[in-house]
């Protein structure tokens, strides 16, 4: 657990340090994947399908606001459909115009959701979107998620009925428009997904806002069950022929992704919860404080030491220090201190012995005025 927390804090620190580079890179990646998915599913215009045009558009989006990616993607879709038929452009243009008005009015900040919702359907993981949107977004994300679902199924209907539109050469423009409109409106699977995603987002949002322990985990599990139940009920009611196996697998994968998102955004330790009560002149306050699970990153400081090569010198011999014993007459025999190396110790000891003999001879000199030994 500590290693995971350390990795999380390291990723956050790297992103905050290089945010000016990470944001354009992420926008470039989002735009590039979106353009590639549009070209793979539609791809009616060879000019827009080329890799050079796709890279240029993605590079433009990396330095522009996120809402520009939505607008440019809608424009690319219309140009691709224009290469197919005029009727598909008209129908898609009307639907996109209505959704743009709803999107910019209610959920202008949910650009990532409206872009990721169609991509999740193409990648086969659509049930991740409502759980993650309920955890990190507001209830207004129902609009952006619903718009993304409608765009995906609209393009799917046009792509499936492509050959039918090409064969309707004798039909009038109005009859072709009616055919496409009926095919989109009568798509029960689209309606069931819009309702299921909207209900799941609201349920997850309401539960994770509650002041209970493990609210996010309860919200994720409840949201997953509600999503599965609504889709199965819609399948029984409208016979949408949804694959139960893909539904179960996608829901489990959505649960795992939501738990990973919770680990990065809302990882707390409920065992250390504290409840505080205080008051002022007008109100009483009841506060529940739940600490976060965090790990302080160590900031190692590396000190570079540049060593200089020194010439090897022979080892010095230890110095011996020896003081001579004091003589009987301190005035005539002062204290001597001799310092010699161990190599000349014998010589020093001989010199010291000579000094002692000289001092003893001085002490034995006759004193003037006294007779020598043997005289009276």
C-alpha to C-alpha distance for 136 and 133, rounded to whole angstroms: 6
Does residue 97 sit within a domain?
no
In DSSP terms, 322 is beta-bridged to 338
Per-residue model confidence (pLDDT) at position 312: 53
In DSSP terms, 287 is beta-bridged to 276
Indicate if 121 and 228 belong to the same structural domain. Answer: yes
pLDDT: which is higher, 158 or 372: 158
Domain total in the chain:
2
Indicate if 132 and 228 belong to the same structural domain. Answer: yes
Indicate if 115 and 259 belong to the same structural domain. Answer: yes
C-alpha to C-alpha distance for 5 and 7, rounded to whole angstroms: 5
Indicate if 224 and 334 belong to the same structural domain. Answer: no
pLDDT: which is higher, 316 or 286: 286
Does residue 21 sit within a domain?
no
Contact status, residue 74 vs residue 89, Cβ threshold 8 Å: no
Indicate if 232 and 324 belong to the same structural domain. Answer: no
Domain-terminating residue out of 227, 247, 266: 266
Indicate if 254 and 114 belong to the same structural domain. Answer: yes
Give the pLDDT band (50/70/90) at residue 298. Answer: low
pLDDT: which is higher, 339 or 257: 257
C-alpha to C-alpha distance for 16 and 203, rounded to whole angstroms: 32
Indicate if 257 and 142 belong to the same structural domain. Answer: yes
Contact status, residue 70 vs residue 151, Cβ threshold 8 Å: no
Whether residue 6 is predicted with pLDDT greater than 60 in this model: the reply is yes
Does residue 25 sit within a domain?
no
Phi then psi dihedrals of residue 340, to 5 deg: -140, 160
Indicate if 196 and 333 belong to the same structural domain. Answer: no
Single pTM value for the model? 0.74
Indicate if 201 and 342 belong to the same structural domain. Answer: no
Does residue 305 sit within a domain?
no
Domain-terminating residue out of 266, 288, 305: 266
The model's pLDDT over 27-76, given as tens digits with 9 standing for 90+, comes to 999 999 988 888 888 878 888 888 888 899 999 988 888 888 888 889 99
C-alpha to C-alpha distance for 294 and 296, rounded to whole angstroms: 7
Does residue 295 sit within a domain?
no
Does residue 88 sit within a domain?
no
Does residue 70 sit within a domain?
no
Phi then psi dihedrals of residue 276, to 5 deg: -120, 140
Domain holding 182, by residue range, is: 109-266
Indicate if 254 and 117 belong to the same structural domain. Answer: yes
Whether residue 338 is predicted with pLDDT greater than 50 in this model: the reply is no
Indicate if 252 and 326 belong to the same structural domain. Answer: no
Per-residue model confidence (pLDDT) at position 290: 86
Does residue 66 sit within a domain?
no
**Mean pLDDT, residues 296-316:** 58
C-alpha to C-alpha distance for 100 and 106, rounded to whole angstroms: 10
Phi then psi dihedrals of residue 288, to 5 deg: -115, 115
Indicate if 114 and 260 belong to the same structural domain. Answer: yes
pLDDT > 90: what percent of the chain? 27
Per-residue model confidence (pLDDT) at position 232: 93
């Amino acid at each position: 657990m500590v290693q995971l927390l350390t990795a999380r804090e390291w990723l956050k620190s790297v992103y905050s340090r290089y945010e000016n580079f990470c944001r354009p890179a992420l926008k470039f990646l989002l735009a590039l994947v979106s353009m590639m998915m549009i070209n793979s599913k539609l791809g009616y215009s060879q000019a827009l399908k080329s890799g050079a045009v796709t890279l240029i558009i993605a590079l433009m989006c990396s330095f522009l606001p996120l809402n520009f990616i939505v607008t440019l993607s809608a424009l690319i879709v219309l140009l691709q459909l224009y290469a197919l038929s005029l009727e598909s452009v008209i129908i898609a243009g009307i639907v996109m115009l209505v959704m743009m008005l709803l999107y910019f009015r209610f959920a202008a900040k949910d650009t990532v959701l409206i872009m990721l919702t169609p991509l999740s359907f193409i990648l086969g993981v659509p049930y991740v979107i409502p759980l993650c949107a309920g955890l990190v977004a507001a209830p207004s994300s129902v609009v952006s998620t619903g718009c993304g679902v409608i765009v995906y199924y609209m393009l799917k209907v046009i792509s499936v009925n492509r050959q039918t539109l090409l064969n309707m050469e004798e039909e009038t423009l109005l009859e072709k428009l009616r055919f496409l409109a009926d095919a989109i409106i009568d798509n029960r699977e689209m309606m069931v997904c819009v309702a299921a995603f909207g209900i799941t987002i609201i349920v997850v949002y309401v539960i994770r806002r509650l002041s209970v322990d493990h609210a996010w985990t309860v919200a994720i599990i409840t949201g997953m069950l509600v999503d599965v139940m609504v889709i199965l009920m819609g399948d029984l009611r409208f016979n949408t022929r949804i694959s139960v196996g893909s539904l179960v697998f996608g829901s489990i994968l959505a649960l795992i992704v939501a738990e990973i998102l919770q680990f990065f955004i809302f990882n707390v330790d409920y065992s250390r919860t504290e409840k505080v009560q205080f008051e002022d002149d007008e109100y009483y306050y009841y506060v529940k404080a739940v600490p976060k699970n965090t790990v302080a990153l160590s900031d190692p400081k590396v000190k570079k030491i540049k060593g200089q090569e020194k010439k090897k010198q022979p080892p010095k011999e230890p110095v011996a220090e020896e003081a001579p014993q004091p003589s009987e007459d301190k005035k005539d025999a002062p204290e001597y201190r001799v310092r010699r190396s161990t190599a000349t110790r014998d010589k020093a000891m001989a010199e010291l012995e000579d000094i002692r003999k000289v001092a003893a001879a001085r002490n034995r000199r006759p004193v003037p005025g006294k007779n020598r030994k043997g005289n009276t």
